[in-house]
Every structure is written in structure tokens, then in C-alpha cells.
């Protein structure tokens, strides 16, 4: 423990944010980092607990609190406090392949389990992590780690989201020859096309790709395995095949199906169109996006978003930058409490109301929180050309575990653009069928109990395709564990 009274002397201080009225003019990241001295003070708040829940990933009341990667948080906070930035980074790198991703988009399960958060404000673990990885890149601590020896084994990884990248990174450093197949034109999966630029600048992903290529990983983009490349070819050409294709089958909406009603889209397709246009434009301003064109435009439209999770929030922030006329976010669940309930004590995951960046921006632009709780879409109305023009909502409640409409609560809302951000229900059919895989009730690939291998085959699966829709940090954790199991399969043992 660096400073034994640090948690008493220093108050929590977050990275500062660009004000909403300024940041909505562009798609730049808007969290501004603290200076090194202030960051060292924040690290000094770490108490070096005897039992550090922050790194334990404990399941309590059906939800996990603490880091799934088991990051050595107290160790690198101590080194950070002392100004030993390189040493701190080496402790972070030991358990985390991509801190530049989790340091931007992770909801910080570590902080929810921090001892300081029991009776006050938790340590800024999330921001400390991001500081260390960016310091490592800027100071040149990160250099290509090219294996001195190659094993002679070849591994194909299908899908380049966080789990696929983690598998590739681990197995490549072990000495295997790894090739990654990605159906999109850029690597990253939902990191690239499912998370907006203002949360994760795409240059960060391209920077990591360059490093991994220098270390020997081969990426094949715009190759859709199961369509462009047959599964049989991969199984014949590689010693192991790891499937990390994600959980990309979106949950639909009975009242309106994308493709059948004009102006109705899945959220991931909407976000992807904006990101692609921005990358094509080479800029980050709203003006450069509009000049590029070719995306699903929300400008001047009354937008309704179905789904109250992170993706729904990302849609709110994106349509505001487009110049939407109004935005309404519909959520079936009740509004969470502002503070922890007595039945939800520390260190459980706090089931409290979260006002994210998109909600803040909507409040600033439109004067009120866009969220409407305990509501669903009952029906939609279209004009003569089939374009959506209005929706009818209805209040809902859960009775005996079943969702029930509350009669007499119907309400009509103007809607020119309806975005469905209701989550995903498993991997896409063709990916599983190409490799003749069985799937469970959640649409995920069935593997050996507690493992990642598919029966008595050379096929493995990890990430959302294996676990179900989840967080980036869980995908990376899955990828690391899967890589160890695949390595043991290839070599008879593993030192990963």
C-alpha cells in the first residue's frame, strides 16, 4: 500500500467531460484525462484491502461484482501512486490484453466492489487503467513481442471481436501461427461497428491491429466463414479452429420488423452505418458525416428507441449528433432507485439508476430525460408509402413472471425512425450450421461442461457466441481461458 492514509486525504476525482452542448457537435471522445500528479493521487486512495473484491469477480445475488480478468488492481495502483508507470503497466498487462478497450467501455465492475465504495466513493480504477495503457503507448513501453520460437501449429480464429482478439493474442504469444477471419472490412466486431466513436475512437482499434500484425497475427477481413470460406476448408487447413462469432442475432419487436416497415432498424445496423460513414469521411465532425452521407440519418426526425441498455444510450447520443427533432427511449422494466436499496448491499452490483452520456445530452438538448419506463410498443402506423409515422405504446407490468399490458394506458407518439436496441438472442444460424454445432436455449454454442471445446473435435468457442450477450471484459476473459484450453489441446500442456 503506497500511502496508508491516501483514502482519507484525497477525494475521488473523475476524468473531466466536455460539456454536452459542445461534445454533440462531433463524434470525438469527450473524457479528458487528469494529469499525472492528479492520477497518482487517485491511485493513492487504493487501500490494498486484505481481501480485494475489486479483482475477485464474485457472483452475489445472481450478478457478478469485481473484475472478470482478475486484474491486480492494488498492485498497479501502488506502482502508479509511486510514479512507477512502466512497472504499473507490466502488472496490468499480466492479466489484461486490451486495457485500452476496457478502460473506455467497461462499466467498471471493479469499482462497484471497491472497499472505499462501501461508505464513500470508490477508487477511480477504470480511469487509472486507461491512464496506464495510454502512458505505455505514448512512452514506448509497448513494443512488439514476437515469439522467439514457433510451435508449428496453426490456429484459425473466426471473428475479431474482443474474445477473438484475446484468443489470437494469447495463442500467438505462445508461439502458434494464428490467422483471424473477419467478415467485416475492419477488425473489432462490435468494438468497431457496435460502439460509437465518442466512446471508442476507431484509431485505438487500428493501433492494436498494427501491433498484433507486427507480432505475427494474420488478419483476413471481408471473409465470411460459412459463406465465402467453407468450414471444411478451415478444419482441414488448421490444427484448431476457435469460433468467436458473437451473439449477433438481434431480438425483434413483434409490432414492427425491420425490412417490413420503412424507418424501422436494429440499433446495431444504425450505429454501424454512422461509423462506416465517419471512417469513410476521414473526419469526426457532424459536418464531415453529413458531407459523406450514405448512413441512416436521424436529422429532423422524431426518434423512438426501444431498449434501455448501453446500446440504447449509444443510439440516443448518436441521433442527437445527427440533429434529431425529438428522442424517446422506451424500457419495459421499472425505473431503478437512485440509491442502493437495503436488499442490495455492498459489494453486490448496485441496481441503481444510471444517467449515462446520452441521457445527459438529451436532457441538455430537449430539457428532459428521454426514458419512459414500464412501457412497450403495441402497434405502429405508416403513411401511404409504408414509412413509419406513429407508434402506440402501452404500459406493462410483470404478474406472476409474465409481462402483462395495463389496459387503458395506450398512448400515441410521433415516430419517423424506430430503433430496436432490445439485445441479442444468440449466434447467427449460418455460423453454427456451417460447423454443425449444437446450441442451447440461449442460442449459444454447446461445449464441454465448464470448458470451451466442442465435444471430441478441434473446434472451440468463446465470447458471446459461447457465453451469450455480455460485456467486453467478459469476452476478453473468455478468450484468455479458451486460448489456454486450445493450447493444452495442441501441445498436451499449457503455460498460458
Half-sphere CA count of 264, side-chain side, radius 13 A = 24
CA of 100: how far to CAs of 127, 227, 291, 363, in Å? 10, 32, 30, 29
Check residue 2 and give its pLDDT. Answer: 66
**Domain topology for 154-245+429-491:** FAD/NAD(P)-binding domain (3.50.50)
Residues with Cβ within 8 Å of 126's Cβ and at least 6 positions away in sequence, in order, are: 103, 106, 108, 110, 111
Mean pLDDT rounded to a whole number for the chain = 96
Say whether pLDDT at 185 is over 80: yes
Least confident residue range of 254-263, 314-323, 358-367, 406-415: 254-263
Span 242-252, average pLDDT: 94
* CATH number given to 6-139: 1.10.1060.10
Half-sphere CA count of 401, side-chain side, radius 13 A = 0
Angle, in degrees to the nearest 10, between helices 202-214 and 162-174: 20
Cα gap 75→66, rounded to integer Å: 15
Q: Give per-residue pLDDT as tens, 71-82.
A: 999 999 999 999
- List the chain domain ranges: 6-139, 154-245+429-491, 264-420
Check residue 51 and give its pLDDT. Answer: 86
Specify the DSSP element, H or E, that contains 312: helix 310-322
Residues with Cβ within 8 Å of 46's Cβ and at least 6 positions away in sequence, in order, are: 1, 2, 6, 7, 73, 74, 77, 78, 81, 116, 123
Span 259-275, average pLDDT: 96
Q: Give per-residue pLDDT as tens, 192-214.
A: 999 999 999 999 999 999 999 99
Burial letters 206-231, b for 16+ CB under 10 A, else e: eebbebbeebbbebbeebebbeebeb
Say whether pLDDT at 482 is over 90: yes
φ and ψ at 111, to 5 degrees?
Answer: -70, -30
Check residue 119 and give its pLDDT. Answer: 87
Read off the pLDDT band of 397 (50, 70, 90). Answer: very high
Read off the pLDDT band of 1 (50, 70, 90). Answer: low
Query: By C-alpha distance, which of 35, 97, 44 is closest to 74?
Result: 44
φ and ψ at 485, to 5 degrees?
Answer: -70, -40
Say whether pLDDT at 172 is over 90: yes
Q: Give per-residue pLDDT as tens, 10-23.
A: 999 999 999 999 99
Check residue 399 and give its pLDDT. Answer: 86
Check residue 3 and give its pLDDT. Answer: 84
φ and ψ at 280, to 5 degrees?
Answer: -65, -35
Q: How far is CA 151 from the centre of its chain?
A: 33
In the chain, % of residues over pLDDT 70: 100
Check residue 346 and give its pLDDT. Answer: 93
Q: Within 10 Å of residue 163's Cβ, how many Cβ atoms?
A: 35
In the chain, % of residues over pLDDT 90: 94
Dihedral (Cα; 317, 320, 324, 327), 10-degree rounding: 50
Span 442-456, average pLDDT: 95
Span 326-333, average pLDDT: 96
Span 46-67, average pLDDT: 91
Helix, strand or coil, per DSSP, at residue 319: helix
Contacts made by residues 34-37, CB under 8 angstroms, sequence distance 24+: 34/127, 34/131, 36/83, 36/85, 36/131, 36/135
Would you say the CATH fold of 154-245+429-491 matches that of 6-139?
Answer: no
264-420 is classed CATH 3.50.50.60: yes
Q: Give per-residue pLDDT as tens, 121-168.
A: 999 999 999 999 999 999 999 999 999 999 999 999 999 999 999 999
Say whether pLDDT at 257 is over 90: no
Check residue 400 and give its pLDDT. Answer: 83
Query: By C-alpha distance, which of 266, 321, 390 is closest to 20?
Result: 321
Amino acid at each position: 500500500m503506497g500511502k496508508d492514509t491516501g483514502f482519507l486525504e484525497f477525494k475521488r476525482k473523475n476524468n473531466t467531460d466536455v460539456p454536452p452542448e459542445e461534445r454533440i457537435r462531433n463524434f470525438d471522445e469527450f473524457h479528458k484525462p487528469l494529469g499525472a500528479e492528479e492520477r497518482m493521487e487517485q491511485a493513492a486512495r487504493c487501500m490494498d484491502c486484505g481481501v480485494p473484491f475489486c479483482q475477485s469477480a464474485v457472483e452475489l445475488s445472481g450478478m457478478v461484482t469485481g473484475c472478470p480478468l482478475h486484474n491486480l488492481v492494488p498492485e498497479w495502483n501502488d506502482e502508479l501512486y509511486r510514479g512507477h508507470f512502466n512497472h504499473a503497466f507490466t502488472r496490468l498487462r499480466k492479466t489484461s490484453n486490451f486495457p485500452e478497450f476496457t478502460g473506455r467501455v467497461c462499466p467498471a465492475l471493479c469499482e462497484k466492489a471497491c472497499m472505499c465504495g462501501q461508505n464513500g466513493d470508490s477508487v477511480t480504477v477504470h480511469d487509472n487503467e486507461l491512464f496506464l495503457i495510454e502512458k505505455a503507448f505514448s512512452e514506448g513501453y509497448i513494443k512488439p513481442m514476437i515469439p522467439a520460437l514457433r510451435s508449428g501449429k496453426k490456429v484459425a480464429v473466426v471473428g475479431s471481436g474482443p474474445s477473438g482478439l484475446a484468443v489470437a493474442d494469447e495463442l500467438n504469444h505462445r508461439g502458434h501461427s494464428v490467422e483471424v477471419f473477419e467478415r467485416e472490412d475492419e477488425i473489432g466486431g462490435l468494438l468497431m461497428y457496435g460502439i460509437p466513436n465518442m466512446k471508442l475512437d476507431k484509431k485505438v482499434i487500428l493501433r492494436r491491429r498494427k501491433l498484433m500484425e507486427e507480432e505475427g497475427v494474420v488478419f483476413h477481413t471481408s471473409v465470411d466463414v460459412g459463406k465465402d470460406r467453407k468450414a471444411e476448408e478451415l478444419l482441414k487447413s488448421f490444427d484448431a479452429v476457435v469460433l468467436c462469432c458473437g451473439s449477433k442475432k438481434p431480438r425483434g419487436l413483434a409490432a414492427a420488423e425491420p425490412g417490413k416497415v420503412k424507418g424501422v432498424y436494429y440499433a446495431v445496423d444504425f450505429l454501424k452505418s454512422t461509423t462506416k460513414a465517419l471512417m469513410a469521411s476521414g473526419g469526426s465532425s457532424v459536418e464531415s458525416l453529413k458531407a459523406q452521407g450514405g448512413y441512416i440519418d436521424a436529422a429532423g426526425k422524431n426518434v423512438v428507441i426501444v431498449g434501455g441498455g448501453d446500446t440504447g444510450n449509444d443510439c440516443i447520443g448518436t441521433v442527437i449528433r445527427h440533429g434529431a427533432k425529438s428522442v424517446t427511449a422506451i424500457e419495459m422494466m421499472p425505473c431503478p432507485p437512485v440509491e442502493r436499496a437495503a436488499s442490495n448491499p455492498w459489494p453486490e452490483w448496485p441496481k441503481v439508476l444510471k444517467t449515462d452520456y446520452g441521457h445527459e445530452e438529451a436532457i441538455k438538448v430537449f430539457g428532459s430525460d428521454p426514458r419512459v419506463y414500464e412501457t412497450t410498443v403495441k402497434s405502429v402506423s405508416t403513411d401511404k408509402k409504408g414509412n413509419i409515422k406513429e407508434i402506440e405504446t402501452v404500459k406493462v407490468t410483470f404478474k406472476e413472471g409474465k409481462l402483462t399490458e395495463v389496459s387503458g394506458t395506450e398512448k400515441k407518439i410521433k415516430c419517423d425512425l424506430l430503433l430496436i436496441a432490445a439485445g441479442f438472442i444468440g449466434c447467427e444460424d449460418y455460423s453454427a450450421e456451417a460447423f454443425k454445432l449444437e446450441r442451447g436455449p440461449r442460442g449459444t454454442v454447446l461445449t464441454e461442461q465448464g470448458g470451451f471445446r466442442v465435444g471430441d473435435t478441434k473446434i472451440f468457442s468463446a465470447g458471446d457466441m459461447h457465453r451469450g450477450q455480455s460485456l467486453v471484459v467478459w469476452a476478453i476473459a473468455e478468450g484468455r481461458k479458451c486460448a489456454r484450453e486450445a493450447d493444452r489441446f495442441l501441445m498436451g500442456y499449457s503455460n498460458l
